[in-house]
Structure 1
């Protein structure tokens, strides 16, 4: 299978998932600086430098691994709603994550409206045809009840518990 080097376009009823661009940087940086967005993702708002590195990783995953993160946009307005996708961050987690890790982050105004469910289902459907192996993994803080409910809704199940940066996490698997 040839390597995919940029995020392919995925369309859902309300969303457009496509490649991150430089034009997304200000919106992405504002999202990661929002204390509500990062409450269960380390708890510390990120600065623009961190967000710049994140944008580079999102794009770089596609170029090097053939999978990565999509920008999630409102299909009608084009507004940036967040990011979702697959990664290999080489996290220091034991046992090691041996398959693509799925993650999602939405701006506060887009949360609780079903957008994440819609985007996750589209990304998982793409993953079934394009990712190596037969499963995806995600890591979630046990305190992050909204993300745990979402993960379970789309098919993730707890595999084991571990720690990441001295914080407890649930490692969840989803068949592709």
Structure 2
């Protein structure tokens, strides 16, 4: 794999993070049409065409940036649960060039099972190891308690506020920093007490 490129597929204990396929269209459209899933997303629910346009943009992001949002599949039954991954957040004002966001969207029956946290932890490992990132952000509407809880489990902290470029919706900017390697044990020097 080239430096700065994410793997096209990741496996966790319960999940497969993979590239997008044509047969994802119906499940992806259902996810994006659900008003409860989209309640804290600035676009609101998407119709089938808008969902297909989004899926095409997600695929293009991989080609352009070498990373993006993976389709999120449950390994035990192959169900498409949503997406998770590392993307360039072009929808928010005032972020530094090159900022990378860890983001997720899951269908409602997948909420509360730890899937977003599990997938996001895998994505962050890719950000540190494969993309060489020192920090990654997540942009979350302040009322989205579920996503804020995921961010807390990921060790992210609020570092600012911004707004969505088209809608003006408020967004919290949360950040995770690359874990520092543990220092090797200090060797005893001459003259140190035993």
Moved over 6 A (4+): 3-6
* Residues 140, 147 of structure 1: 8 Å contact kept: yes
- Alignment match, 2:139: 139
Q: How does 1:2-151 map to 2 (within 5 A)?
A: 2=2, 8-42=8-42, 44-96=44-96, 98-151=98-151
Normalised by the size of structure 2, how large is the TM-score?
A: 0.84
In structure 2, relative to structure 1, the CA distance for the partners of 1:118 and 1:6 (3 Å cut) is: closer
- What is the alpha-carbon distance in structure 2 between the residues aligned to residue 32 and residue 39 of structure 1? 10
Q: Secondary structure at the match of 1:133?
A: coil
- What is the alpha-carbon distance in structure 2 between the residues aligned to residue 112 and residue 33 of structure 1? 20
Q: Secondary structure at the match of 1:35?
A: coil
* Residues 5, 131 of structure 2: 8 Å contact kept: no
**Which structure carries more helix by proportion?**
1
* Residues 7, 69 of structure 1: 8 Å contact kept: no
* Residues 72, 82 of structure 1: 8 Å contact kept: yes
* Residues 36, 108 of structure 1: 8 Å contact kept: yes
In structure 2, list runs of 5 or more residues that go unmatched.
179-194
Q: Secondary structure at the match of 2:46?
A: coil
- Alignment match, 2:177: 175
In structure 2, relative to structure 1, the CA distance for the partners of 1:154 and 1:98 (3 Å cut) is: same
- Following superposition, the deviation at residue 162 of structure 1 comes to 1.8
Q: For this pair of structures, how many residues does the alignment match? A: 176
- Following superposition, the deviation at residue 43 of structure 1 comes to 6.4
Normalised by the size of structure 1, how large is the TM-score?
A: 0.92
Q: Secondary structure at the match of 1:85?
A: strand
Q: Secondary structure at the match of 2:118?
A: helix
Instruction: Report Cα offsets for 1:78-103 as digits up to 9, x if no partner.
Output: 01001001112423412446411221
